[in-house]
Amino acid sequence: MPHAHARKRLRGSEVHGAASGTSTELVLAQLVATERLYLGTHELGLHVLTRAAAPAIDDRVRARFDKARARLAALGRPLEQAVVADRAQVVDAFRALKELEAALQVDLASALGVTMTFTTGDGD
């Protein structure tokens, strides 16, 4: 089943955090937390292992984090407003997040020799 957004049926009121106007911040907080796990502190993040095993993959994953963060920042407004005002920009941000997810699931997992799964809370 395609996402409501892909079917162009997503309404601003259906976006998590819409009532408080924090929808973009919620996505950004999750992105930043994931990036912190990857980068770690004091050379203790997953990137240390990735860099040692596959430097090109580390570069690609970092670039995907940067791109996703930039696309979210480019929205310049809560998602519930962006969905209505500039759907193409939301699609671009969504695509960047999906590219990051793929880099983590495929590239990072390959570099580390592990299997990772992601489960969304909304069943999509």
Domain limits, the chain: 17-112
- Per DSSP, the residues of 13-79 read GGSTTTTTT-HHHHHHHHHHHHHHHHH-STT-SHHHHHHHH-HHHHHHHHHHHHHHHHHHHHH-S-H
Give the distance between the most distant pair of CA atoms in the chain: 45
The pTM for the full model equals 0.79
Kindly report, residue by residue over 20-44, the tens digit of the pLDDT: 667 888 999 999 999 999 999 888 8
pLDDT in tens, 44-98: 899 999 999 999 999 999 999 999 999 999 999 998 888 888 889 999 999 999 9
How far is 38 from 26, CA to CA, in rounded Å?
19
